[in-house]
Amino acid sequence: MARRLRVVYPGAIYHLTVRGNARQTIFRDERDRERWLAQLREQVAQHGVRLYLYGLMTNHVHLVVETPQANVSRFMQGLTTAYAMYFNKRHRRVGHLLQGRFGARLVDSDEHLLKLSRYVHLNPVQVGEMPERPVSERVRYLRGYRWSSYPAYLGQTKGLEGLEPGPVLAQLPGRKAQRRLTYRKYVESGLAETDEEFAELMTGVAEGIGGSEFLAKIRELAEGQLRRLRRPEDTTFRRVSLTVAPAMILQAVSHVMNVPVAALRRRRRGDMGRGVAALMLGRHGGLSQREVAGELGVRWGSAISWQARRTERLARCDRDLQRQLRAIEQMLKGPG
């Protein structure tokens, strides 16, 4: 079955989810969580994303972001690929860490964003044995949970660099301190009663969280994007459906080929790294020959095409090269 097309447009707000493959643990200790947050901070800055909410659980993550540059897939590929590479190396494991594609649901109005923030921030006390504990104990746990943006919303901590609580809190009356207090009461009221209407929305249509008009608009945008993707391309070298960030591709090639990224941009006799990088950028970066040439410091796109074809030919009879290409592609098949 074909994968559902991501609907993207400047200024889109998404509820993003990342889950461990087969529900496995993706954070084994505080060091892992700190690394995820460091990668998140870096990717938010690199891709110009606005980060509104985050929550790290043991085997999954919630994020709420706005993408002014309509680049949610590149942002998430950069985040998840870098973290999976770190996790596998640190814990000496191989194979997929994360489950399939990341979840991405568009968010409708400010009202839905406010309700979604309560849903994300309550997640730590709605799993495992926590729902059976007294409300007072759950409140203490929630306010002290370090791996969520909730303490920052309450003003207890500064929060992750790049976090923007303002757009959510601005929906509440009063000055800054009053808004924080009102928000705390709003979120924690969800411990005693459930917003059944919003809970139904969260389990409803996969594309978005919102009203019927908003969901119809999402479908219309998806159909328009699909029609554009079906138009003939000017070159078969481009793979428009796969868009891994070039930096992540070069990092994966560097890791597997044991060659510094800088060396991939230099011509060296007998070195396969540059040809492999050219092939991977063409297959998985959604780049034209000219764009790949720019990434690798090559003057002519035709030279890049030749290097990529040569690498493919050599791989047919070179088992070591075949294994290296498979290893690189495994790294690039993270959630997308």
In CATH, what number does 12-228 get?
Answer: 3.30.70.1290
Residue spans of the chain under pLDDT 70: 1-5, 195-207, 225-243, 268-270, 333-336
Q: Does domain 246-332 have CATH number 3.40.50.150?
A: no
**How confident is the model at residue 164, as a pLDDT?**
95
CA distances, 301 to each of 33, 152, 192, 286, 291 (Å): 41, 48, 62, 15, 8
Structure tokens at 81: 């690929």
Angle 28-32-35 from CA coordinates, rounded to 5°:
170
**How confident is the model at residue 162, as a pLDDT?**
94
Checking DSSP bridges between strand 12-19 and strand 60-67, what pairing results, if any?
Answer: antiparallel
**Domain spans, the chain:** 12-228, 246-332
Do 77 and 83 contact (CB within 8 A), yes or no? no
The 10s digit of each residue's pLDDT in 245-268 is 788 888 888 888 888 888 887 776
Residue 171 burial class via C-beta count within 10 angstroms: exposed 0-12, middle 13-18, buried 19 and up: middle
The pTM assigned to this predicted structure is 0.68
The 10s digit of each residue's pLDDT in 278-288 is 888 888 877 77
**How confident is the model at residue 234, as a pLDDT?**
36
